[in-house]
Amino acid sequence: MKRYVRPACERLGIGFSGFHDCRHSVVTSLLKSGVDAKTVARIAGHTDVRVTLNTYAHVSTEDLRAPLASCVLLVSNQKGAA
């Protein structure tokens, strides 16, 4: 790790504090990019998909904006039609 991984990360400007962080980033990215949770669980080596979802599937403010914006548009369209 000291010889190859850390120097490569430094050259690329990537913060790296350990393999667990890297694993967490990869699994979270896969879920956010729409890969099926069961597939991600298999990649991560989890026998139960709930472990994957409870550990890695985080809802951020950004994740909530599009669905909430859709709701606002529906309500405003319904008011305009009435």
User: Each residue of 12-45: pLDDT tens digit?
Assistant: 887 777 788 778 888 888 998 899 999 999 999 9
Q: Is 9 exposed, middle or buried (0-12, 13-18, 19+ CB in 10 A)?
A: middle
Q: What is the pLDDT of residue 81?
A: 53
Could you write out the three-class secondary structure of 60-80? CHHHHHHHHHHHHHHHHHHHH
Domain borders along the chain are 18-81
- pTM, entire model: 0.58
Q: How confident is the model at residue 72 (pLDDT cuts 50, 70, 90)?
A: low
Residue 56 makes CB contacts below 8 A (sequence gap 6+) with 24, 27, 28, 31, 40, 44
